[in-house]
Structures are given as C-alpha cells and as structure tokens.
Amino acid sequence: MFDFTVITTSYNSELTIEETLKSVLNQKEISFEYIIIDGVSTDNTLNIVKYYKDTFKHISFKIISEKDRGVYDAMNKGIDMAKGKVIAILNSDDLFAYDTVLKDIFLLYSQGYDIIYSDLLLKDFKLKNIVRNWKVKKFPSSGFKNGWHPAHPSFFMSKNSYDLVKGFNLTYTISADFDLMLRSFLSKKLKHVYFEKYTTIMRLGGMSNNSILNIIKGNIQVLRSLKNNGFNFVYTYPFKRFWLKIFQYKIK
C-alpha cells in the first residue's frame, strides 16, 4: 500500500495538464501512486500523459481512458482503484502549490485525522495573477448551513473515509463535491483538521462557475444536498455563501 493516491480526471486538457503532471510527479519525501482517469480525450492529452509516465518510471502511474458519466463518475473510478492510505483529487487544470504538499498532509493523517482541509489560491488561466484568496478557516460552530465549506481542490481524505461515505453521489451533476464534503463532516466517525497553508492552485473557470446557468444549477443542488442531509430552512444559503466569497476576490 502507498502513503498517498493522487487522482486526476481529464478530458481534452492538452493546454493545462502538463503543469498538473509536473506538480504531482515532483512531490518529494512521500510514497504515492498517480491515477489518471481520462474520458477518451480527442486532443493531445493522452500523448502528454504517456510521455510523463515514461519519464517518471519510478512512480506507480496508471492511465485509464474510457467513457464515463461525468467528472464525478471518473473520480469514483479512481477512488475504487486507489491503494493509497490518503487520497488527493487534483483536476487537470490545477496544481499543487509546492513540492511537499503530500508529505505535509500525510503527517497530519498520521496524527489520527481522517480529513485534512486547507487553503486555496484561484488564479487566472495563465497562472500569473491571483483572482481569489480562499482562506478556508477552521470549521465554524454553525457548520455548513451558514455558507461555510472547504475548498474541494485542497480537500484530502483517507481511502477508508471515502469508502465509509460511499464516494460521490452522481445525482448531483455539479455539486457532488459539496455533497461529499458535507456528508464527510457530518459523520461522527471521521476526525477533521484545518491545515492553514495554501496547498493547491486552481485555474479560474471550473465546471460549477463557468456560466450563470451552472451557478444557479449548482446552488439548487447544494440546497437539495443540505435538505437531504437534515438541514431545514436553508434557502438563504446561496446569499450567505456569496457574502463569504465576495471578500476573497481581488478587485483591480
């Protein structure tokens, strides 16, 4: 068994995946496997991935390219395959912020934590300018219902914990990451800790915020997840969430 499994899902990601690969494969002082779940890309994505697999032969590197039911289905496939004690999910347009992220996260896991969540930098497409500074902060007493939630790209959880919460619920096509984190934090069996450091850099333009329609659809799914997990009268949630976010953005 490895200390860590890193999972990257991809589809036609030739413009960004090389930086993602480098940030993973350059991780130091930790044993890990790397799993790429590709949705049958038609561009140069797979050629780039195969080049790096051949370059980093000392790392367990698996590539699966097949049709899936969306990004969360691909993530579930990677989780099912994972042989690491802790799992990181890194999108094909994101990257780790420094080269000992996995080592630092595993140290906290070794102290008895099941969930480690940390801070996130959102940058423009060329990764030159910071657009949003997401300081997640510690889990508040009010929990998720008042707009707080971790950043999924900088959220790490043990393999056993993913098995316990049964992965991503595919009925949430945009907000399954929110739903999974909510269910994980609600579980009394899982111990979580805030790591106050930027571990991940995310490019602007993710699935949940790339259009007004997706923003609306994502918020509807978030409300459904909250209701399905026992929260009532949460229809002001999107406004609370927006209020927390607005101060994290850098206005030029």
Q: How far is CA 236 from the centre of its chain?
A: 25
Q: Given pLDDT bands bounded at 50, 70 and 90, which one contains residue 34?
A: very high
Tokens of 6: 């890193």
Q: Which uninterrupted H or E stretch holds 171?
A: none
Q: Say which amino acid occupies 145.
A: K
In this predicted structure, what is the pLDDT of residue 90?
A: 98
Q: Are 3 and 84 within 8 A, CB to CB?
A: yes
**Residue 176's pLDDT band (cuts 50, 70, 90):** very high
pLDDT digits (tens, 9 = 90+) for 38-85: 999 999 999 999 999 999 888 999 999 999 999 999 999 999 999 999
pLDDT (0 to 100) of residue 7:
98
* CB-CB contact of 78 with 37 (8 Å): yes
- ∠144-217-87 over CA atoms, to 5°? 55
> Where are the alpha helices (H) located in 124-252, listed in sequence order?
159-165, 176-186, 212-228, 237-246
Position 212 pLDDT exceeds 50 = yes
What pTM does this model have? 0.92
